[in-house]
Chains A and B, each alone.
Chain A
Amino acid sequence: MSAPARSDLAAAPADPVGPPPPGRPARRRRLRPGALPVAVIVILLVLPSLIVVPMSVSPGEILRFPPDGFSLDWYRTLFTEPQWTSAMLNSLQVALATTVLAVLIGAPAGLALGIREWRGRGLLLGLVLTPVVAPPVVVAIGMYTTYAQVELIGRWGLIAAHTVLAVPFVVVTVMSAARQIDPTWLDAARSLGASPLRVALTVLVPLAGKGIASGALFAFITSWDEVVVSLYLTDPGFKTLPVQMWNQLRERVDPTVAAVASVMLLITTSAMVAALVIGWRRDGAARENG
């Protein structure tokens, strides 16, 4: 159910900085007629995410909009109540472990898929994608019944399951990045006497670094927001944040869940904005120098 962007689909290299798009007339200042539908789509995309922020500061015990006042009590609950703090720590733990495992397992496969062409890579890619497209309920009951047989429930069960769900993102993003590596560089490095490990660490990893980093981020988010499979594999003594939110919503629909969502939104938004600003600065600098 949690399904972060398959960003990689957009990662096909392109060069739109080159010639302008087709049929574009001289730059016009007035609003284009297409602006309205786009504005509506933007509202559709962001409204449900933004509305949780005012909902999180409502002092009442019921999740509502508009808020009936202003209070940060729910944030206090979030950062002091053990059930919330432990859920956050558990989620962090599972998501970090998932990220590391998914990168360790997925990056080599992504490099193999991206650098050279070989028979069967289409088939392998198809298999890799199945955890993402398989209906979550089917995956959940299957994992649940098999993992329970070997008591792979709770922390390690969640890490195992999330790794499976997250690894496709790593494979695909690393593959996209690796497609831009020229295999002759590797051969050159090898022929100059570099050991395979050295080639991997000094040539491959830096070149595919961006792909690995974005794959890792998607792995993290996949784990962090996963609900359906987690509900089955969670150990009552080891709950992740989405499971705790699910329980809270079933026990009492109070603004704590909106506070969780707002904190998440704040963190991710500021990280994205920071990334943008850094990117702009670097681009600007490059342009000035170049």
Chain B
Amino acid sequence: MAGVLTTLDPTVPGAAVRRPGHRRGLGGALPAVPLLVVLGLLFVVPVAVVVGRSFTYPDGATLANYRTALTDPVARQFAWNTVRTALVVSVASCLLGYTYAYAMYRAGRTVRVLLLFCALLPFWTSLLVRSYAWTVLLRDRGVLNELLLQLGVIDAPLPLLRTSLAVTLGMTQILLPFVILPVYAAMTRFPPDLALAARSLGASRRRVFWEVFLPATMPGLVAGAVLAFILAVGYYITPVLLGGPGDQPIAVLIENAVQQRGDWGTAGALSTLVVVLVLALLALGWRFLAKGLLGARR
């Protein structure tokens, strides 16, 4: 536990040492061989089987499943629901996450650690229970509506549960840390001298923020946004429990095809399309993610 906190708390001093250059070629990968074997057998093969079935099910080589998947209005609708939700959630997470990370950055040590603790709290609560807690908060006779009714703010319960708002709240809560942490890391990497220099040249504090600080920390924000978006695309239980008819994710169609009809063709084609989307996003955002992870030089 202490390890996590110190890993998470970049106040722990110690700068990355300089790496020797490309000394070893591919030989450096040797300790990763067991990992590659495990991922290959237990992860790549299963996903490949799903992808493969999209071309072979129900009988022989076929592209029919893709024709169905791409032209089916239901699949399109659900795909749009998924992408729209992911977009809204990542934008919300970026706005809130940046604000929060900035507050952490500016705060004193105690407050910073407290804020970090709050940001991580969702991870320590079961996902299932958290989703149910949201339904208890947001339902017509839920905590929030009862509170507003008693305060006289509203006369009739607001429809909160089974709306896009509920999905956005529930998923943003879970995905916020994925934005907060990389953004905060980027902020701590910001050289304060830069701000001082800008200030001494006469820039206002506001201008320093918008024209120096924000651009410098942007890679962290992009990394967080990409991560939040990719993870949101795969989310399934939260939108089903909290969302309305217009919020159902594509995962529902994949699961129904397999569970109810044993239709591996449709499930495979939809899965393949989602995986391709996720991998494409990962590739697009890789520059920013890798910067945080591999520590590419400035």
Contacts and interface: CB of A to CB of B under 8 A. Distances in A.
Q: Do chains A and B touch in the complex (CB under 8 A)?
A: yes
Given A21-B192, A22-B192, A55-B136, A211 B3 contact: yes
Contact of A6 (B31, B124, B178): B178
Given A14-B188, A23-B208, A146-B45, A128 B35 contact: yes
A141 B123 contact: no
B31 A112 contact: yes
Contact of A183 (B19, B178, B212, B227): B19
Interface string B251-270: 10011001000001001000
User: Which residue among B48, B230, B294, B295 has the maximum number of chain A CB atoms within 10 Å of its CB?
Assistant: B294
Interface in B255-293: 255, 258, 264, 267, 271, 274-275, 278-279, 282-283, 286, 289-290, 292-293
A45 B20 contact: no
A1 interface: yes
Interface in A211-233: 211-214, 217-218, 221, 225, 227-228
Given A24-B106, A134-B278, A264 B126 contact: yes
A227 to B, nearest CB: 6
Contacts of B133: 47-49, 51-52, 55
Contact of A179 (B213, B224, B286, B295): B295
A55 to B, nearest CB: 7
A87 interface: no
A45 B177 CA distance: 9
Interface in A54-69: 55, 63-66
Given A163-B38, A264-B124, A34 B99 contact: yes
A119 B25 contact: yes
A35 B254 CA distance: 43
Counting chain B CB atoms within 10 Å of each CB, the highest count among A124, A138, A161, A182 belongs to A138
Contact of A51 (B137, B182, B271): B137
Contacts of A11: 7-8, 10, 185
Interface string A152-196: 000000001101100100011101110111110000000000000
Interface string A222-265: 00010110000000000000100110010001000110110011
Interface in B225-269: 227, 230-231, 233-237, 251, 254-255, 258, 264, 267
A177 B7 contact: yes
Interface string B191-209: 0111110110000010011
Nearest to A16: B188
Contacts, number: 403
Interface of A is mostly: helix
B120 interface: yes
B32 interface: yes
B236 A125 contact: no
What is the size category of the interface that chain B forms with chain A?
Answer: 35 or more
Contacts of A44: 96, 169, 172-173, 176
Interface residues of A, number: 128
21 contacts: A1-B237, A3-B174, A13-B13, A21-B106, A44-B169, A112-B32, A116-B24, A122-B286, A126-B283, A130-B282, A135-B274, A137-B236, A142-B50, A164-B38, A164-B43, A171-B35, A212-B3, A213-B4, A217-B1, A217-B4, A271-B1
The 8 residue pairs across chains A and B that have the minimum distance between CB atoms: A22-B195, A118-B28, A142-B46, A213-B3, A14-B188, A135-B234, A108-B31, A109-B32
Interface of B: 1-8, 10-17, 19-32, 34-36, 38-39, 42-43, 45-50, 96, 99-100, 102-103, 105-106, 113, 115, 117-130, 132-134, 136-137, 142-143, 169-170, 172-174, 176-178, 181-182, 184-185, 188-190, 192-196, 198-199, 205, 208-209, 212-213, 223-224, 227, 230-231, 233-237, 251, 254-255, 258, 264, 267, 271, 274-275, 278-279, 282-283, 286, 289-290, 292-295
